[in-house]
Every structure is written in C-alpha cells, then in structure tokens.
C-alpha cells in the first residue's frame, strides 16, 4: 500500500460516498480496512457469489463477470486518479472480481472455497511472474484489474491440478 503522504486525498467514508466509482473500487468500504484491505476485499466476493450464483444462469454469471471487469477498469482508474496513486491498496474491486471468477469455477464445498481463498491471496500477494511484471508495467484501471485476473488464473490452475490428483 502506498504511504498516505503520497495521496492527494485521504480515503474515508466521505471520499467513498463522494463518487459511486470510489464506493465500488473500494469494495463497498472493505478497502478502508487498516490492515490487509486486499484480503477484506477478497472476502466481499463470498456474499456476492452466494447471492448471485443461484439467481443467474452460468451464461448470465459469466456476462456479469465480464461487465464487472470492464466497469472495474473504469472505476479503478477514476479512483486511482482521484487519489493520485493508480494502484492504491484500498482499491479492492480487482480482488472482488477476480475472486468471483475463482468462485465460479471452484468445486462445491467449504474446503474448496477455503483452498481457493488461500491460493488466491497467496498469488495476489507474492505476484509470481508474469503477475509482478504486469503489476509494475501496466498502469491505470486495466493494470489494476489485470494482475488480479492472472492471480485468479494461477489459483484455478492449481486447483485443477489438485482436483486431478484426488481419487
């Protein structure tokens, strides 16, 4: 997370409610967490998934994910510009959307969900290649959203390998 002295504006509830893009990019406030905002943002995906999955067909859910990613590029860019820091740690819509993708493809059961959560947080924090490359070279809303998409891909790949090894 960037040091607050570098920020043009200090994130607060007032800031979040000053523009709908800020509220969404901060994961409805979860990005205001003092410690581990990305983890709190990732957790926001669980109730969203539990609400949406039984109500949408698979095709509609995928369409909603594409929409959420596209909107995320826009809102994360707006918020990053307002803060003066493109990928401020409190901007967590990227974690929300990427983890919704992971949950969509995660087998049922709390064990799989817990594994998905742990793997996603690991890849999002450690940023193995090429995630670190894109995180450091792609800027703006697309850069914010894209590295978490890669972390979701690594998570799903690991889960597929683990599932294939099970009897």
| 22 token code pair | 């800020």
pLDDT of residue 7: 87
pLDDT of residue 6: 78
Count of C-beta atoms within a 10 Å radius of residue 51: 10
Phi and psi of 53, rounded to 5°?
-55, -45
Count of C-beta atoms within a 10 Å radius of residue 138: 16
Phi and psi of 32, rounded to 5°?
-80, -5
pTM strictly above 0.85:
yes
Q: Is the peptide bond before 10 cis (omega within 30 degrees of 0)?
A: no
The interaxial angle of helices 93-105 and 140-165, nearest 10 deg, is 30
pLDDT of residue 2: 39
Residue with tokens 């990053």: 80
- Taking 50 as the pLDDT cut, the residues of the chain under it are 1-3
Q: Which residues, in sequence order, are CB contacts of 127 under 8 Å at separation 6+?
A: 135, 147, 151
* Domain coverage including residue 55: 4-165
pLDDT of residue 5: 54
The number of distinct structural domains making up the chain is: 1
Terminal C-alpha separation, the chain: 42
Among 90, 88, 94, which Cα is nearest to 120's? Answer: 94
């Amino acid at each position: 997370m960037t040091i607050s002295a570098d920020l043009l504006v200090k994130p607060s509830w007032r800031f979040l409610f000053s523009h709908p893009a800020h509220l969404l990019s901060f994961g409805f406030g979860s990005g205001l967490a003092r410690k581990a905002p990305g983890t709190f943002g990732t957790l926001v995906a669980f109730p969203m998934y539990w609400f949406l999955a039984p109500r949408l067909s698979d095709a509609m859910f995928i369409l909603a994910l594409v929409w959420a990613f596209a909107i995320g590029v826009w809102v994360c860019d707006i918020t990053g510009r307002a803060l003066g820091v493109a990928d401020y740690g409190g901007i967590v819509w990227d974690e929300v959307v990427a983890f919704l993708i992971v949950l969509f493809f995660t087998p049922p059961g709390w064990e799989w969900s817990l594994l998905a959560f742990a793997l996603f947080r690991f890849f999002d924090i450690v940023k193995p290649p090429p995630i670190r490359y894109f995180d450091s070279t792609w800027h703006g809303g697309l850069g914010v959203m894209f590295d978490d998409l890669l972390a979701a891909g690594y998570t799903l790949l690991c889960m597929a390998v683990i599932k294939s090894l099970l009897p």
